[in-house]
């Protein structure tokens, strides 16, 4: 059995047991989750900065976009988690809605929060809304990669028990080997980012407003829909349902994505 700072390799499966605290100094604790979330924000910001410089857009306005998006993502993700995944508990304990430090952020709500934040920002910079959504989608994909890595570090958003050789034991939770669903999503988001960035750099799809954002929605939420099949259901009330709450919430995003992806080409053919 081999040990390292993250966990240890047993005879059958890797056992994950990283200390959630990365640095502790004089009572001050810095968590891995916070580090990875900061990397998510920083990487998304740098992608947007490169796009703005390339297209001669007002880079100085990105500070406002960053602030609006961070607030929109956190508020939207928290409210969506409370309303869609455990409404009975939060309606009974409304003050707990504010307890973000206890965990509980839903990516669907975070996405809606970011879209609302972008709409508010768009009214200031006077750029087309779909034009901005296309570019923000690229940054959001790499943001999602780091967030899911943070979930992996925290041993949260667990997969179902599995006998697959790549299954991981999250020792902080139990001793069952499970699908590393967080890593599945992280890889899906990273591949989505690479593809969208290549399309933006090498094709004219960026001229078709809404197409890149539509492709982003299709790739992200089709991946999410499929990966939900090997994840523990987060909404207790949906235990007996065929589809999980995460899958049902993904369907509207998929429909919108397909419509946005096809719309520019349908308009062109009609013309």
**In angstroms, rounded to a whole number, what is the distance separating the alpha carbons of residues 100 and 77?**
10
Mean pLDDT of 144-155: 93
Would you state the pLDDT for residue 237? 60
Of 57, 37, 38, the closest CA to residue 49 belongs to: 57
**In angstroms, rounded to a whole number, what is the distance separating the alpha carbons of residues 252 and 241?**
18
Tell me the binding residues.
148
Would you state the pLDDT for residue 7? 58
Residue 148, burial from CB neighbour count under 10 angstroms (0-12, 13-18, 19+): buried
What percent of the chain stands above pLDDT 70? 90
Task: Please provide the DSSP assignment of 231-251 as one string.
Answer: B--S-GGGTTSSS-HHHHHHH
pLDDT tens-place string over residues 26-85: 778 888 888 998 999 999 999 999 999 999 999 999 999 999 998 998 888 888 888 877
Query: What pLDDT band is residue 4 in, cutting at 50, 70 and 90?
Result: low
Dihedral sign for Cα atoms in the order 112, 71, 83, 231 = positive
Whose structure tokens read 């065929």?
242
Mean pLDDT of 166-183: 93
**In angstroms, rounded to a whole number, what is the distance separating the alpha carbons of residues 263 and 44?**
27
Output the pTM of the full model.
0.86
**In angstroms, rounded to a whole number, what is the distance separating the alpha carbons of residues 158 and 182?**
7
Whose structure tokens read 């920083």?
42
pLDDT tens-place string over residues 104-140: 777 788 888 999 999 999 998 989 999 999 999 999 9
| Residue 146 near residue 189 (C-beta atoms within 8 A) | no
Question: Which pairing describes strands 14-16 and 7-9: parallel, antiparallel, or unpaired?
Answer: antiparallel
**In angstroms, rounded to a whole number, what is the distance separating the alpha carbons of residues 231 and 57?**
41
Would you state the pLDDT for residue 83? 83
Burial 223-243 (b: 16+ CB within 10 A, else e): bbbebbebbbbbbeebeeeee
């Amino acid at each position: 059995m081999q040990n390292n700072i993250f966990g240890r390799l047993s005879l059958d499966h890797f056992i994950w047991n990283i200390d959630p605290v990365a640095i502790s100094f004089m009572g001050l604790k810095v968590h891995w989750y916070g580090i990875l979330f900061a990397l998510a924000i920083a990487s998304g910001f740098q992608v947007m900065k490169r796009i703005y410089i390339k297209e001669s857009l007002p880079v100085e306005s990105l500070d406002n976009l960053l602030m609006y998006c961070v607030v929109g993502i956190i508020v939207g993700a928290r409210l969506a988690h409370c309303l869609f995944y455990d409404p009975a508990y939060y309606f009974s304990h409304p003050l707990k809605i504010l307890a973000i430090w206890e965990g509980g952020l839903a990516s669907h709500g975070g996405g809606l929060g970011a879209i609302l934040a972008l709409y508010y920002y768009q009214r200031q910079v006077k750029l087309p809304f779909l034009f901005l959504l296309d570019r923000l989608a690229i940054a959001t994909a790499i943001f999602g990669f780091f967030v899911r890595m943070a979930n992996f570090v925290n041993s949260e958003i667990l997969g179902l028990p599995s006998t697959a050789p790549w299954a991981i034991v999250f020792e902080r939770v139990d001793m069952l080997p499970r699908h590393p669903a967080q890593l599945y999503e992280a890889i899906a988001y990273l591949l989505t980012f690479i593809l969208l960035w290549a399309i933006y750099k090498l094709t004219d799809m960026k001229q078709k407003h809404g197409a890149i954002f539509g492709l982003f929605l299709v790739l992200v939420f089709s991946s999410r829909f499929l990966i939900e099949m090997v994840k523990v259901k987060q909404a207790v009330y949906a235990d007996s349902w065929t589809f999980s709450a995460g899958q049902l919430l993904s369907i509207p995003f998929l429909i919108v994505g397909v419509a946005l992806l096809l719309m520019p080409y349908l308009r062109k053919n009609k013309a």
